[in-house]
Structure 1
Amino acid sequence: MNLRISKSLGMVAVLYFTANFSAQTKVKDTVPKEKAIEEVVLVGYGSVKKQNLTSAASVVKADAFDNRPLYNVGQALQGQAAGVSVVQASGKPGANIDIKIRGNNSISSAVSPLYVIDGIQTNDISGVNTDDIVDMTILKDASSTAIYGINGSSGVVIITTKRGKIGKPQLNFNAYWGFSKAVKNIDVLNQDQYKSLLSDIKLNGGGDYLATANNPRYAGINTDWTKEVFQTGFDQNYNVNYAFGNESIKAYAALGYQDIDGIIKPSRFQRTSAKLNLDAVILPWLKLNSSVNYFLTNLTNTNDNLSTARGGVVLSAFNTPTFLPVYGNQVNMSPSDPEIYDQATGAIKDGYKPGQFAPNPYQSSWENPVAYQSRKDKTLTQRFLSNLGLEVRLFKDLTWKPSISFDMIDSRNTKFTDGFQTSYGRSKLGIGSQEFNTFQEYNFENTLNYTFKKSVHDFSLLGGMQINERNFQSNYYGGDTFPEGIFNFNYDLAKNQSYDIRKEILRQVSFFGRALYTLNGKYTVMGVFRENANSALAPGNKWGFFPGVSASWLISKENFLADSKIISELKLRGGWGKTGNASAIPAYSHFNLYNPFWNNGVPVYTNTQSDSGDLAWETTTDTNVGLDLGILDNRIRLSVDAYQRKTDNLIAPIRLGTSDFLIFRNIGSLENKGLELALNTVNIKNESFTWNTSFNISFTKNKITEMSSYLRSIPATNIEGMGTLVKFEQGQPLGMFYGYQTSGVNPNNGDMMYVNASGNVVPYTELKPEDRRYIGNPNPDFTFGFSNNFKLKNWYLDMLVTGSVGNDIFNATRFDLEMMNDYKNQSTEVLNRWTTAGQITDVPRANSPSAQFISDRFIENGSYLKLKAVTLGYNFLNPFKGLSKLNLYVTGQNIFTITDYSGMDPEVNAFSPNNGTSGAERAVFGIDYGTYPQVRTIIIGLKANF
């Protein structure tokens, strides 16, 4: 374990348990035992009393995150629940969030949970406004998620939003404003240090780059590219909602606007959201409920997770030489300079005209970061998410609930680089594209629910069916060579045009059921099942059966504990279940597919996908054992869960030989084992002061237990042609880093030394591919969250700490910042490079071929402890007539991080599955490659209740 984080965790634990223990004898005002355990927890297609819950579940209430600047629901889950891993892979506004419940349980299938928002099932939570949320229930084991079949294989998050209530109408207004800065920077060489490095590169047989750096046209120029790129971001958020209700109708209406202007231009996230929840009693036996949501998001992208050569703004900010100005006309322009002026006509050449970015004299396609920032990349998305349901009471204890939901997402992405400002744009005379994506999902459900309560018996039976259809269409228009003066993409004006259209339809049908029986309030048994069919699979393999069973024993209700003054709740839980996953399977997997291209007007067809008709479901079998303990009238509540999760028939895309097409195969099995602990305490509670604490920690181990004999391993993820970095192999954890083991720098010649397969130290010239080994593990030993909530009269203070321990990061950013083999600027780490015989250092000489291997040199400890959020606020009660409450608060997010990681932030994932990766790269994580840095945000907010 990282020593600094170990000490920090130890100090936190000592302070917490000391304060908690010392406070126990001071508190008299507690929640009565019977009332505390009457809480209700949502499960699939219903709810259950918390005391009768048989499976592993966590509940996150809105007050845990409602004062933080969040743009994604996933951020609200971070650090709040055991077994839930949330990684904000980038600090970019609107960036996707990686959410995993109990780790990865697949190689190529999606592992994000299913979200059920007011009964609407979706895998996409983008656009959802966290201000509308009441709470979120996380279902973690298959004994409860099996009822969702193939949709519940990676866990389920049930989101409840605000609704109207009987009573006085409520009008609420919330707003906050703030600013953001980068949490950390990377120091690069100043101009003198850079020129010294160029001299060393030439001395060691490299190119003569120094002459260009000393060219008089650049004299006196010294650009700080990090200051040009990393600026101040601004946040603003406004929400207004109105709720009312009576015996016949209840309604909640909300309107929100959020604007996050990033620290790296032009990154920006803008969202407008509108919501209407309506509940109505039409007849004594007939109720209607509906939810209508509209989201409009406008996302302006800045390229990150890319090298300088491929337009990565972050790495370009570090790599671009400081002698280069932003604009070409900022150089020392001499009429006798043939690079700037046409010697025959005297005209200024491209690259040096006003408004054009300065070309890189070493390689014009490697442009400065401000030039990369000028590229247009905008996505406008409209989403309409709604459902309509009825509740029909057929008999006293029998209810029929038909419902229909509809999800439509319409997005338009526009990219354009004009033919004037940049070298790349001029080389293409302008280049751009527009892509229109339309997604429509229809979901029809019918359930019958029967309940029976008599004496010591409490029984419910649910049965249902679901029909689901998903339609996707993509239209792509691309082109280059535009007329002069065009600064926005117009397909009709492009000389060279390309067009592509793709359509998919995926259908599912399911039958499901649940039986729940409780005897005497102490013994509960639940059984669930789902029979699921998916059109993506070939005939004979379409149907899958996914059962689950669980039970609990509320020991604290037994006679020998019923009168205990210490133990207020003690319950044992156990469950087993199966779920499936089909997300890695293409919609038409059992067909041979071809793409046409035209050769002199004649269509030629190429194979893009081979028949994968023998594919079977990925099936996950989950076993869970849990204990819930409440002490001292539930002032201390502890939940512990141990689980084993095994996924069989893992699906992976295989490329046979040198073919260009993929074939999908079931290749093996994967196992996850874990232990989760959640502790909630009421440390102090009296009329003037309360202090509550929540702590959760999750330990997870995974291993590939089986892989097909014809496929011993799967390589994945190349970093700029440097070779395979991640490899999947039987007996190894997921996502292991693969490369060479170093043995320091040879003090005689400055070359890196390596350890071969026999354990001998050898020079790089003797390395062989078989000398590679596993050099790092991105899977953490454990993750944790720790929160404290204080309230002193009208003041309150909330704190959230998150962390990860034991995971490795491959710092691929250092490939570009420490290679010292060309003209790119480098980090100040290279000041320690070898220069003289006998020198002891861990940085090789400049331009050493020995340094250009994937090795453990770039593996770093990714453990961290982060003060994620702190909020200080004050509540004014009835400050003005008509205003019942006014809340003013200040929140800081990403306040500080304790880590040994040398990069900008250890919370990274350059190859996030949500960043467009596919195939085996879905299980690639823990890589930092010019990632948009995390930001520290300070906001001031207010909430007014009328």
Structure 2
Amino acid sequence: MNVKISKCLGMVAVLYFTANFNAQSQVKKDTVPKEKAIEEVVLVGYGSVKKQNLTSAATTVKADAFDNRPIYNVGQALQGQAAGVSVIQSSGKPGANIDIKIRGNNSISSAVSPLYVVDGIQTNDISGINTDDIVDMTILKDASSTAIYGINGSSGVVIITTKRGKAGKPQLNFNAYWGSSKTVKNIEVLSLDQYKSLLGDIKLNGGGDYLATANNSRYAGINTDWTKEVFQTGFDQNYNVNYSFGNENVKAYAALGYQDIDGIIKPAKFQRTSAKLNLDAVILPWLKLNSSVNYFLTNLTNTNDNLSTARGGVVLSAFNTPTFLPVYGNQVNMSPGDSEIYDQTTGAIKDGYKSGQFAPNPYQSSWENPVAYQSRKDKTLTQRFLSNLGLEVKIFKDLTWRPSISFDMTDSRNTKFTDGYQTSYGRSKFGIGSQELYQYQEYNFENTLNYTLKRSVHDLSILGGLQINEKNVQNTYYSGDNFPGDTFNFNYDLAKNQGNDFHKEILRQVSFFGRALYTLNGKYTVMGVFRENANSALAPGNKWGFFPGISASWLISKENFLANSKLISELKIRGGWGKTGNASAIPAYSHFNLYDPYWSNGIPTYTNTQSDSSDLTWETTTDTNAGLDIGLISNRIRLSVDVYQRKTDNLITSIPLGTNDFKIFRNIGSLENKGLELALNTVNIKNENFTWNTSFNISFAKNKVTHISDYLRTIQAANIDGMGNLVRIQEGQSLGMFYGYQVAGVNPNNGDQMYVNASGNTVAYADLKPEDRKYIGNPNPDFTFGFSNNFTFKNWYLDMLITGSVGNDIFNATRFDLEMMNDYKNQSTAVLNRWTTVGQITDVPRANSTSAQAISDRFIEDGSYVKLKAVTLGYNFNKPFRGVNKLNLYVTGQNIFTITNYSGMDPEVNAFSPNRGTSGAERSVFGIDYGTYPQVRTFIIGLKANF
């Protein structure tokens, strides 16, 4: 742990000592009735339970923890708010998906994102949900509560409750904010003179004569600052209006929202329009109706990141592109005698130098400047309709039947196009583009019967249910090149070379589930759940699985010996065990041999892509959890502690067969996760004019691959251009471990990189063997934490959120492109310390040394950080104008500063994020930085009004 992080954590500890001291000193001034504090209700699967009787590991996050922040995704709202919940914003790009994990990775190839239950609708996609509509979110973390969701609950469950109408006076609310964003940190690259000096060294060491090109007179006087060309000021705007009304029989909530985020790197842009209607109605004394209708329209414009310069990565290109190049070709010094620019026969200007064409790279035309890459069109328009309709039928006084149906439909269209005029790549293909049409439909039918019995000291609830689910996925892909010269948007019919592909699948599930919850005398609670799950993706004989869970709690503080305690207001121990499944890595037709047809100019080509996997079954996670809840001084100090162990068996991965894409799916091993979580909440000061509340959570976690089948032994992953695989998965090691060579400094006699072999001896690069590789870094943090403080003084309020991660390594693959010094790309200023003279002591090898191009711990860095994630200062006006009940003005800063030793633009990175379409073992890869779109510092001003 670095010194900066240690000091910051020390400050956190001091603040908490102060908090606890103040909590005790203020107790006489303000007390909260014990019974009122513990009558809170926590949502669990298909129901709720009093918090005092909760038997499992669950955390609730209220909307006031995030409603003044400029966020577009539910994941951002969860960041730093709950122990055991890891949220990585792997890219600062507007609209980018957020990686959310509850208690870490419990799979190699399957998806590990949680299941979301939004007003009873189960979904794995919360990308369009407007956080302004959310009341609270409850995170279910252990299998004793998530087992009731069967093969959907293995990675945890987040239950989201949205706003609904209330009886009484109608309420109209409006809120809006406006803000701007900038990069938090930049990477310094070589000046033009420093770059030319480097090119000279490359030539001296056997490289190409790149310097002569850089000194060509056509580039004289040009010195482009590519970071200024690429990075700009982003702009955020957000508007929401909602109206709620109702009486004893009908209650409704209607909302409309619009969000627009312009990124700091064009053309990145995210626009979302959302509409929502929640309706509750009492039709008859024994019959109630509830429904929720949501519509989302998102328009996402993409900027390519997490890619090398050669593959169109805008971020790396902004650093790599030589500064002697201009943006446009006609900005060079044009001389009629220059045969590269002018046709010497006709005198016409050649392609690349005409008006509106981006300047070609004289070293390699396909490696274009970042502004040229930014001109490529990549837009995704998505419409989503998410709704449910449910009834509540009171059959008898204590017996309730709840039938419901939900529908989730997504229609998405991604269009990419590079025209045949502006760029070298586009001209080489005479224009090239593609269009992918994605359609998703999910139907979910549920019926539950719930019986409750409350007699004297007995409180019993029994639930049984049936679920039928069907998912339909359809993908149609069109591609083409060689378009007419005046084509600037993709039109499949105009392409001379055409290709298309069509894919459709249907996945069905049927489930029986149940729960029994019994509390004796308000002190002793036992809960049992189960789900019998069937999945159509599996072969006959393997379709059904049984997933049980059981948990219990003892509310010790209700025993006679603590009932009148002034110090201990709540003391509870709880424990649970359960099993869940994961089927997300199983193809819809896993037990069939599959052939993928691709049409090119009307001619079908069939490729065998999958072998029969009839013996495949789902991954099964066995989860054990023990917890302790303590409330002190009328619950002004509340502490929750959880320890857990999760074992996942029958891990699934795809195994390539031969040299083709042909593969077979197999259950290949086991994985174990262990962890400790602590959450502390304190009311430090509470009086008539001033309040101070503090929340702190910290999570310690470790994982280990406990078994991999003998026929596989190791799994390689994370192949990045020119580097090979960075990650190796092996029995006995943690997931995602970086694998490569260990460096031993730079040879002062010749400037070559030296390495440590398997025997511990220092050897030259030429003497290295594959068996000299070792595990060189661990991307898994030792612990993560969140720390928030909320202050109010009369009508003023101040909220602060700090997040952090400690002990994780990052493989800074960006440095591979910025420090290799083996071609004509511009480099970072780190190479100014390169070896140039015999006897020189440095850790940067000489220019153009092949010895430096191995995957090694040279690129491993400490990824620990502490972030001041958000600060909000606001003021509440009570009835400032006629017709306005409340008015709130606030300013918020997000990503204010980061304390870290990491040399990259931001330590929150994941080049292999699931939003890149990664699958297979790549899903267990994290902690790699490869030209990632940076996080941004955002400042906003907002207002909220209630009428």
Q: Is the 8 A contact 2:19 2:682 kept in 1?
A: no
Matched residue, 1:402: 403
Note closer, same or farther for the CA distance 1:597–1:48 as it changes in structure 2 (3 Å cut). closer
Query: Any idea what SS the aligned residue of 1:561 has?
Result: coil
Matched residue, 1:938: 939
Which letter maps to 1:728?
I
Deviates more, 1:714-723 or 1:166-175: 714-723
Matched residue, 1:922: 923
Q: Is the 8 A contact 1:2 1:806 kept in 2?
A: no
CA distance in 1, matches of 2:24, 2:644: 32
Query: Any idea what SS the aligned residue of 1:192 has?
Result: helix
Which letter maps to 2:400?
T
Offset of 1:599 from its aligned partner?
9.5
Query: Any idea what SS the aligned residue of 1:667 has?
Result: strand
Note closer, same or farther for the CA distance 1:604–1:930 as it changes in structure 2 (3 Å cut). closer
Matched residue, 1:752: 753
Note closer, same or farther for the CA distance 1:712–1:26 as it changes in structure 2 (3 Å cut). same
Aligned residue runs from structure 1 range 118-517, under 5 A: 118-517=119-518
Matched residue, 1:524: 525
Offset of 1:362 from its aligned partner?
0.2
Matched residue, 1:584: 585
Offset of 1:594 from its aligned partner?
1.1
CA distance in 1, matches of 2:605, 2:584: 31
Offset of 1:595 from its aligned partner?
2.4
CA distance in 1, matches of 2:600, 2:272: 45
Measured against aligned partners, the alpha-carbon deviations of 1:551-601 in whole angstroms (never above 9, x if no partner) come to 000000000000000000000000000000000000001000112457998
Deviates more, 1:599-608 or 1:493-502: 599-608
Note closer, same or farther for the CA distance 1:49–1:19 as it changes in structure 2 (3 Å cut). closer
Q: Is the 8 A contact 2:595 2:606 kept in 1?
A: yes
Offset of 1:167 from its aligned partner?
1.2
Deviates more, 1:865-874 or 1:595-604: 595-604
Offset of 1:20 from its aligned partner?
3.0
Which letter maps to 2:399?
L
Task: Extract unaligned runs of 5+ from structure 1.
Answer: none
CA distance in 2, matches of 1:355, 1:124: 41
CA distance in 2, matches of 1:382, 1:816: 38
Offset of 1:604 from its aligned partner?
5.1
CA distance in 2, matches of 1:603, 1:568: 72
Query: Any idea what SS the aligned residue of 1:30 has?
Result: coil
Note closer, same or farther for the CA distance 1:598–1:526 as it changes in structure 2 (3 Å cut). closer
Which letter maps to 2:5?
I
Offset of 1:245 from its aligned partner?
1.2
Matched residue, 1:558: 559
Note closer, same or farther for the CA distance 1:514–1:776 as it changes in structure 2 (3 Å cut). same
Offset of 1:213 from its aligned partner?
0.2
* Identity score, percent: 87
Which letter maps to 1:644?
Q
Which letter maps to 1:646?
K
Measured against aligned partners, the alpha-carbon deviations of 1:730-755 in whole angstroms (never above 9, x if no partner) come to 00000000000000001110000000
Offset of 1:605 from its aligned partner?
3.2
Matched residue, 1:713: 714
CA distance in 2, matches of 1:491, 1:661: 29
Offset of 1:718 from its aligned partner?
1.1
Q: Is the 8 A contact 1:24 1:684 kept in 2?
A: no
Which letter maps to 1:24?
Q
Matched residue, 1:24: 24
Offset of 1:602 from its aligned partner?
7.1
Matched residue, 2:80: 79
Query: Any idea what SS the aligned residue of 2:13 has?
Result: helix
Offset of 1:31 from its aligned partner?
1.9
Q: Is the 8 A contact 2:23 2:636 kept in 1?
A: no
Note closer, same or farther for the CA distance 1:709–1:446 as it changes in structure 2 (3 Å cut). same
Query: Any idea what SS the aligned residue of 1:51 has?
Result: helix
Query: Any idea what SS the aligned residue of 1:228 has?
Result: helix
Which letter maps to 2:20?
N
Measured against aligned partners, the alpha-carbon deviations of 1:904-931 in whole angstroms (never above 9, x if no partner) come to 0000001012321010000000000000
Matched residue, 1:829: 830
Measured against aligned partners, the alpha-carbon deviations of 1:306-359 in whole angstroms (never above 9, x if no partner) come to 000000000000000000000000000000000000000000000000000000
Using structure 2 for the length normalisation, give the TM-score: 0.99
CA distance in 1, matches of 2:742, 2:542: 45
Note closer, same or farther for the CA distance 1:810–1:463 as it changes in structure 2 (3 Å cut). same
Q: Is the 8 A contact 2:499 2:600 kept in 1?
A: no
Which letter maps to 2:453?
F
Note closer, same or farther for the CA distance 1:604–1:787 as it changes in structure 2 (3 Å cut). closer
Query: Any idea what SS the aligned residue of 1:276 has?
Result: strand
CA distance in 2, matches of 1:41, 1:670: 30
Task: Extract unaligned runs of 5+ from structure 2.
Answer: none
Q: Is the 8 A contact 2:499 2:599 kept in 1?
A: no
Deviates more, 1:555-564 or 1:652-661: 652-661
Matched residue, 1:15: 15
Q: Is the 8 A contact 2:254 2:278 kept in 1?
A: yes
Matched residue, 1:677: 678
CA distance in 1, matches of 2:632, 2:377: 58
Query: Any idea what SS the aligned residue of 1:562 has?
Result: coil
Task: Calculate the aligned-residue CA RMSD, in Å.
Answer: 0.9
Q: Is the 8 A contact 1:96 1:915 kept in 2?
A: no
CA distance in 2, matches of 1:857, 1:728: 21
Offset of 1:717 from its aligned partner?
1.3
Q: Is the 8 A contact 1:651 1:666 kept in 2?
A: yes
Aligned residues: 946
Q: Is the 8 A contact 1:913 1:923 kept in 2?
A: no
Note closer, same or farther for the CA distance 1:603–1:260 as it changes in structure 2 (3 Å cut). closer
Matched residue, 1:658: 659
CA distance in 1, matches of 2:819, 2:102: 36
Offset of 1:657 from its aligned partner?
3.5
Note closer, same or farther for the CA distance 1:600–1:504 as it changes in structure 2 (3 Å cut). closer
Offset of 1:92 from its aligned partner?
0.2
Matched residue, 1:106: 107
CA distance in 2, matches of 1:780, 1:615: 33
Matched residue, 1:906: 907
Which letter maps to 2:561?
F
CA distance in 1, matches of 2:914, 2:357: 36
CA distance in 2, matches of 1:116, 1:152: 11
Query: Any idea what SS the aligned residue of 1:560 has?
Result: coil
Offset of 1:606 from its aligned partner?
2.6
Which letter maps to 2:4?
R
Which letter maps to 1:586?
P
